[in-house]
Amino acid sequence: MKPSLALLSTLVLAACGGLGVGSDSPPSPNQLRTASTARFAQLLEAGTPAIQVAVEKDESSTIVLREVSRNGVESYVSTDGVSLKLRRGFLVGTAGFGGDMTGSNVDDSMAAVFGRRAGVTERFHTFLNGENEAVTRGYVCVVSSRGARQIQVGTRDSQLRSVDTTLFEEACKSLDQDYTNLYWLAAGSGRMVQSRQWAGDFTGPLVMRVVME
C-alpha cells in the first residue's frame, strides 16, 4: 500500500496494451492481465473511489478502484483482476483469491454496526470449495464497541489525514470456524473508513482502508 495514486497512474498507463484484436485464439493470461490493467487505468483517470487492501497472512497489498455500483453493492477491481464486492464497506464477495466468497447475507451485522449497538447477530457466507462447489455457512456473531480511536488515512495526493472514529468488533463462530472482524466508523458521518474483515479460510483477513479525496 506504499504507492500513491499519482505514481500508480503512471505505472498502469505504461503497462497498458492491446488484446490482440483479430486473433482467433482465446486471450492468454498475460492478455487478460493487460485488459485488467487497461480497465484500471480508465477508472483511475475517471477518479472513481479507491480503497487500499492488504492480505494479512502474506502482507501483500494493492489498490482497488470502484468499477460499478448496483443495488447497493459496489464492485472494486485491481490491476491484476482481483475484485471485491462491498455493501457500505461490508465485504460480501471476492474473486481472484481462490476459495472465493461468492455471496453473503450481512444484514444483521450491518444493522448492529451502523446502529452503533452491541448485540448478537447472524451472518451467512457462500464459498467455493476445492472442487469448485458452492458451500454456504452460517455464523453467530457478537458485536461490541471498543471505543474511540484516531487513525491515519491516506489521500489521493499522498498525504495522511487524521480521522476520529469509533471501533466496533464482531466476533463470529460456526461449528468449526471462528474469526473477528473490526470496523472503524468515522465520527459524525458514520462512514466505514477502515476495516479488517475475514474473506474465508483460504484468504484469511483483508485489511481495507479508504483513500480520501
pTM of the model: 0.84
pLDDT (tens digit, 9 = 90+) per residue, 21-30? Answer: 333 444 444 5
Instruction: Check: CB of residue 121 under 8 Å from CB of residue 182.
Output: no
CB atoms within 10 A of CB 48: 18
User: Domain 49-210 falls in which CATH fold?
Assistant: YmcC-like fold (2.40.360)
Which residues in the chain come in under a pLDDT of 50? Answer: 1-3, 7, 9-29, 31-32
User: Residue ranges of the domains in the chain?
Assistant: 49-210
pLDDT (tens digit, 9 = 90+) per residue, 112-156? Answer: 999 999 999 999 999 988 888 899 999 999 999 999 999 999 998
Q: Is 42 left (phi over 0), alpha (psi -120 to 50) or beta?
A: alpha
> Residue 30: CA atoms inside 13 Å, Cβ hemisphere, count?
4
